[in-house]
Amino acid sequence: MDIVIRPIRASEYQELGEITARAYLDDGLLDFGESDSYLHELKDVAKRAVAAEVLVAEEQGRVIGGVTFVPCGGPMADIAGDGEAEIRMLAVDRAGRGRGAGEALVRACVQRAGAQQGCVRIVLSTQRSMHSAHRIYERLGFVRTPERDWNPVPDLDDITLLTYELTL
């Protein structure tokens, strides 16, 4: 099957929000399940699309995943510094996994970062249990940066996010 990566259309915001939320919920990535405050952020694709570039993976005319690409200096950056772009909220529908959509989305972000003047690296945060995503990042040349690992909820010690970077 051919997977097409393209910018999201406004008519697809809700669909991608549900795909992203389901991926995080079904994979047990939200510590507080349906009541996790991050769930609202995952669903709010319209908000992300204003502040960053949201890309979708489409297969046979159906959206099967998406990612948020934060360009250098973008307001949605969690860890990116000067000269760094960031990847956020990568998710692929369970039924669409294993066919290269996740990797294609990451590659598209790397290409966008490389085309940005002054962008020297692309960074991302990931959870310890996201092993499939880690394999994608490492296959594409990303390296772990443990010195940048961080905790989005300082009151909870077990939510430390791992970080990766790719020098362009």
d(CA 108, CA 165) in angstroms, rounded, equals: 15
**Within the chain, where are the H helices?**
13-26, 38-43, 45-51, 101-115, 131-139
Q: What percent of the chain has pLDDT over 90?
A: 83
Structure tokens at 126: 């990931």
pLDDT of residue 16: 98
Q: For tokens 């020297």, what's the residue? A: 120
How many helices (H) and strands (E) the chain has is answered by 5, 7
pLDDT of residue 1: 59
pLDDT of residue 137: 98
Q: What is the pTM of this model?
A: 0.94
Q: Which domains does the chain have, with CATH numbers?
A: 3-167 (3.40.630.30)
CB 66 within 8 A of CB 56: yes
pLDDT digits (tens, 9 = 90+) for 40-87: 999 999 999 999 999 999 999 999 999 999 999 999 999 999 999 999
Mean pLDDT computed over 89-94: 96
